[in-house]
Amino acid sequence: MKKNILLGVCGGVAAYKSAELVRLLRREGFEVRVMMTAAATRFVGSLTFQALSGHPVATDLLDAGQESAMGHIHLARWADRILIAPATANFMARLTQGMVDDILTAVCLAARAPPVLVPAMNSAMWLNPATQANREIIESRGIRLLGPGRGELACGESGEGRMLEPEEILNRLRELSPTGPLQGRSALVTAGPTREPLDPVRFISNRSSGKMGYALAEALQAAGASVTLVSGPVSLAPPPGVERVRVETALEMYDAVFARIDQAPLDLFVACAAVADYRPAEVSAGKIKKNDANMTLSLTRNPDILTEVAALPADRRPCCVGFAAETGDIRRLGEEKLRRKGADLLAANLVGGTQGGFEDDNNALTLLWHDGQAEKRCGDAPVADLRMDLPMMPKRELAAALVSFIEEHFFACNPSS
């Protein structure tokens, strides 16, 4: 599974092994960012990690420049997995205490998922009761420790405390299963526009950028779901770890969605694509010539993917989330669409204005659901109203908020089978 790994490097001799680790992780397909303690930069220069990871290295919690580029909160959200290697006795002690006195501890405290620690230190330090007490506390909080191993140590002694070799760390990471509230769930997200060809060079399409759908795929994956993204033509890279199926037309999108549903049961379907409602009735084999002053196009209705998925028999029907881009009264139009399409949840937003919606990095959503629908799926965790507004915010944050809502109201009391 391809993911974003945030590697924290502490100040120990073993820091040099982490440079090799970055190289191996990238070769494996991980996107890697690095943060270092001040002491770590005394052992290995941050430029080494910058060159190997392809990203600037975060070294300072109080540096305004670094914080505005990608601050500790953003780093914590960006990371699918935080790996601290080497983790020193000092770092373990500070983490145990919940201290936030550098970028590494700040990120670990701000992250949703617990970090993975790869300890490295002299064996007397490792076996010291203080370190062992910290180890116990750390492990009781669900934080995984990889190693330490036994062998020759940098101080010349031999014993327990040696950092695992980069290859071994990679193998152990492969074994760690993805964690998160949607672990074991499968989700399919449609995203982007469709293109409906008129002739070999022209098509009908729309302004959808795919940003919202890609952000949702990423947020679902970060929550532990295994995600398939069926995407129309956009210029975005697929989120690491998400399987992407590329399509052009609405009919291709329809086929790709149903092929996936036929393959294995799906828990969640999120229809975020701006699917063309109509396609040209005929696709000209050659380029259409301009002959007359006026030209009339004949269009045929495309199948409505969301409606058809929502109408599947109960044993094959996933939880269905639709989107509605409207230019008018989003509440009224959204409620009507929710009913007509048979979705469980509808996320409506305004488009065509000056801010938010298509192409923009920000958006606001009004969530609408049926009377009793969320409660029905979620036992005794009723939601207060049948509507919730998610205010204007970056699409990645909005996606995380929407995924949390889905988790809480449609899946929390409905364990995966």
Q: CB 330 → ligand C5P: shortest distance, Å?
A: 11
Phi, psi of 78 (to 5 degrees): -65, -35
Q: CB 393 → ligand C5P: shortest distance, Å?
A: 20
- Angle formed at CA 123 by CA 119 and CA 128, multiple of 5 degrees: 90
Q: CB 305 → ligand C5P: shortest distance, Å?
A: 3
Which parts of this chain interact with ligand C5P (CB under 6 A)? Answer: 190, 250, 271-273, 275, 277, 302, 304-306, 322-324, 337
Take residue 289 and report the two structure tokens written for it: 């010539």
18/373 with CB nearer ligand C5P: 373
18/190 with CB nearer ligand C5P: 190
On whether the CB atoms of residues 164 and 86 are closer than 8 A, the answer is no
CA distance between the termini of the chain:
22
- Angle formed at CA 390 by CA 386 and CA 396, multiple of 5 degrees: 130
* Residue tagged 């405390």 (tokens): 161
Q: Which of 10, 108, 155, 378 is catalytic?
A: 155
Distances 193 to 187, 204, 271, 346 between C-alpha atoms, Å: 19, 10, 12, 18
Q: CB 395 → ligand C5P: shortest distance, Å?
A: 16
* Residue tagged 């009913």 (tokens): 339
Q: CB 242 → ligand C5P: shortest distance, Å?
A: 18
Could you give the strand order of the β-sheet that contains 116-119, starting from the edge strand earlier in sequence? 31-36, 4-9, 81-87, 116-119, 144-145
* Residue tagged 């084999």 (tokens): 285
On whether the CB atoms of residues 197 and 280 are closer than 8 A, the answer is yes
Give, to the nearest 10 degrees, the angle between helix 15-27 and helix 166-175: 50
Is 378 one of the catalytic residues?
A: no
117/325 with CB nearer ligand C5P: 325
Distance between CA 371 and CA 375 in Å, rounded?
A: 8
Q: CB 323 → ligand C5P: shortest distance, Å?
A: 4
Take residue 411 and report the two structure tokens written for it: 């899946």
Catalytic residue list: 155
